[in-house]
Amino acid sequence: MIVIACPGQGSQTPGFLSPWLDLPGAREHVEAFSDAAGVDLVAAGTEWDADAIRDTKIAQPLIVAAGILTWSALSDRLGAEAPARPTGAAGHSVGEIAALVVAGVLAPRDAMTLVGVRGRAMADAAALEPTGMSAVVGGDEDEVLALLTSLGLTPANYNGSGQIVAAGALAALAELAASAPRGARVVPLQVAGAFHTAYMAPAVSALRTAADAVEPADPAMTLWSNRDGAPVSTGRGALDLLVGQVASPVRWDLCMTGFAAAGITGMIELAPAGTLTGLAKRGLRGTPAVAVKTPDDLEPAVAMLAEETA
């Protein structure tokens, strides 16, 4: 089983979309995605600087558009060259929206409309109160979680590979950095607020309204949820989890546990790739992984699938 993994916010870099727009029809697709999301994604992905694309309402549509575009390019290549296709999908945080497209739950335009709403709603929620996020890398997990509780912080992302992302008030995050658990490093993240915590509750209702207007299909492949790492069997169930995920922790560690339990033989990470393949090196030791950062990386992805049927 080969799994498609779709990265989340923070994976974007200036100009990363440029080589993808050279593919036939790609620019037209991204322009249509821009209309649906309400963001000029061509300019954002090719011209804007790191500060501009860090904005939540820009970053989220940009990342999902890149994932959908990569999946379309890979699917076209597979139709011509490989007998095998991926049979599983999952996404980290906002990457779950791209994963729903991969799994056939959402049409691309519906996905881009939803991520536009999500990005704006989460940006608005983040503006209500100064909050942030910091990655805690290393240390004993029980000690880390106990310290977060004592500081009133929330473990917003369980990324596996010895990494937990803490979220909450800026003063509490500063105290966390000053009193890092033994053997751990605290790395402040350049994000606008405490995503995947109760601070994001105001964004849930806006996304719920948008999701209720969509008619999803049931997954055409195994689709793992960030909620608990378990497969989702219905399209409506996947959308419900997607909505609630805005204000609840991302359990990527459990997704990787689910991959291992299913016996996956490889992982292909869609653009802007690199983060999830990095986590897989420790969380899925020995499992081959391909990060599709540019169109040149499509060939190794096709080769992985070809080996699956060899």
Catalytic residue among 92, 134, 196, 248: 196
Where do the domains of the chain lie, and which CATH numbers do they carry?
2-125+197-308 (3.40.366.10), 131-188 (3.30.70.250)
pLDDT in tens, 165-201: 999 999 999 999 999 988 999 999 988 899 999 999 9
Distance CA 176, CA 184 (A): 11
pLDDT at 84: 74
Q: Which two tokens stand for residue 170?
A: 């800026």
pLDDT at 82: 53
pLDDT at 81: 53
Q: Which amino acid is at 147?
A: L
Cis peptide before 272 (omega within 30 of 0): yes
- Known active-site residue 29: no
Q: Is the pTM of this model over 0.85?
A: yes
Neighbours of 81 (CB within 10 A): 13
Helix and strand element counts for the chain (H, E): 13, 10
Contacts 24+ apart (CB under 8 A), 50-56: 50/13, 50/14, 53/12, 53/14, 54/190, 54/191, 54/192, 55/123, 55/192, 56/9, 56/119, 56/122, 56/123, 56/126, 56/191, 56/192, 56/193
Catalytic residue among 29, 34, 92, 93: 93
Cα–chain center distance at 56: 13
pLDDT at 161: 81
Distance CA 138, CA 274 (A): 20
pLDDT at 252: 97
Sheet strands side by side (includes 184-188):
184-188, 131-138, 163-169, 154-160, 250-251
pLDDT at 309: 65
pLDDT at 131: 97
Those residues whose C-beta lies under 8 Å from the C-beta of residue 222, and which sit 6 or more positions away, are 1, 3, 87, 88, 89, 231, 262
Q: Which two tokens stand for residue 101?
A: 């497209």
- Known active-site residue 150: no
Neighbours of 204 (CB within 10 A): 18
3-class DSSP state of 47:
coil
User: Residues of the chain whose pLDDT is less than 70?
Assistant: 80-83, 309-310
pLDDT at 25: 95
